[in-house]
Structure 1
Amino acid sequence: MTEYVCEALSRKHDRKQFDCGVEELNSYLARSASQDVKRKVAAVFVLCPQNDSGRIAGFYTLCSTSIELMGLPKDVQKRLPRYPQVPGVLIGRLARDIDFPGLGTLLLADALSRCVEASKQIAASVIVVDAKDDAARQFHEKFGFQILPRLPSRLFFSMATAEKL
C-alpha cells in the first residue's frame, strides 16, 4: 500500500471528483459522508494516491452493528455465547473510482485491518457487509464472506478469521 494512503475523510479530499460508476455511491460521498461522520453514524475512510493526497481513489464506511445469533449458520452459532445479538462491525459502503481499477481488494484489506484493531477496544465477533448487487456479493464471497441465511444480501466474516489474516 506504499503508493496509497488510507485515512479518515477530511476537508482536503475532493469528494466531487470521485466516480465509481454508481450514482448512489458517488452522491453519498459528495453529499452525505461528511454529515455521517459529524453525526457519528459512520466513519468514512478514503484511499488516496500518495502523490495526490486530495484525490479519492476509493472509500469505505464502518459503523457498529449487531446481528441475531439465530440468523447465523448453525456451525457458527455453536462457537458463540448464547446472547440474542452478536456484536459486529458493518462495512456499509465500499467503492473505488473507475480510474483506479483493482483497488477493491486493497480497500477491503484496510477495512478488515481496522475492524480487527477496533475489536481490541470494543468487542465485535463478526464483520458484516451489505451486498448492493450480485457483483458485490461475489466480490465478498471471493474473500470468504458467507451469506446470512435469513438475509441473502447481507454477508458476514468472523473476526477470528480476520485476525488470522
Structure 2
Amino acid sequence: MTARFVIEALASQHDRKGFSCGVFALDRYLKEQAGQDIKRRAALCYVAHEQESNRIAGYYTLSAGDVALRDMPEEIARRLPRYPVVPVARVGRLAIDTAFQGKRLGAAMLWDAANRALRAEMGVFALAVDAKDEVAAAFYRHHGFVIFDSQPLKLFMPLNAVVQAS
C-alpha cells in the first residue's frame, strides 16, 4: 500500500487544506501550527503524500524527549544505565486522512519515524507515544509498543526491536 506514497518533511508545496482525519485538533494542528513548530524546532513534521500529487494522506510529528527510568517496566529498566531519565524520540501526533484509513499507512509512518530516530546522530533508546485514547493505544500495542507500567496510554518501543526487525 505505501509504495504509492512518499514520506518526507512537510514543505510549502504540500496541500494541507484538504486534510481531514476526523479529529478536529489533529486537522487544525497540521493546517495552523505545524509550520510554527518546525520553525521553532519544537517538532518536525513528516507527511505521506501520493506520488502523483501533493495531497497529504497522513502525517506525524517527531521530537526529542525523555522518560523516567522508574516508569519503565522492570525487565527493560534493569538493562539500562541508571540515569534518572532515558532519551527517546517522541511521536507527538500521528494522523491519517479519512480517505486513507485502514490501509496500513499508519504502520508505515511509525516505521518511518523509528528509522528516522535510528538515523539521528544522538543517543535515543526508544520511540515513545502518548495515545489519545484506548483505541489509539491498541493500535500502538499492535505494532509492538509496550505500555509504561503506571500509565496505560503512554507507550514506547525500544529501537533495538526495529533494528532486529530490519
Q: Match of 1:32? A: 33
Aligned to 2:135: 135
Matched residue SS, 2:92 = strand
For structure 1, list consecutive stretches of 5 or more residues without a partner in the other structure.
none
- Aligned equivalents of 2:116, 2:164: Cα separation in 1: 14
Shift of 1:147: 0.8
Distance 1:37 1:163 in 2: 28
Aligned to 1:90: 90
Q: Aligned Cα RMSD in Å?
A: 0.9
Provide the TM-score with structure 1 as the length reference: 0.95
Matching residue of 1:117: 119
Secondary structure of the structure 2 residue equivalent to 1:47: strand
SS of the aligned residue for 1:99 comes to helix
Gaps of 5+ in 2: none
Letter in structure 1 aligned against 2:28? S
TM-score normalised by L of structure 2: 0.94
* Corresponding residue of 1:149: 149
Aligned to 1:163: 163
Partner of residue 75, structure 1: 75
Superposed displacement of residue 150, structure 1:
2.3
- Between the aligned residues of both structures, percent identity stands at 41
Distance 2:95 2:117 in 1: 17
Higher helix share: 2
Deviation at 1:151, TM superposition (A): 2.0
- Counterpart residue number, 1:108: 110
**3-state SS, counterpart of residue 61 of structure 2:** strand
- d(CA) in 1 for partners of 2:62, 2:10: 12
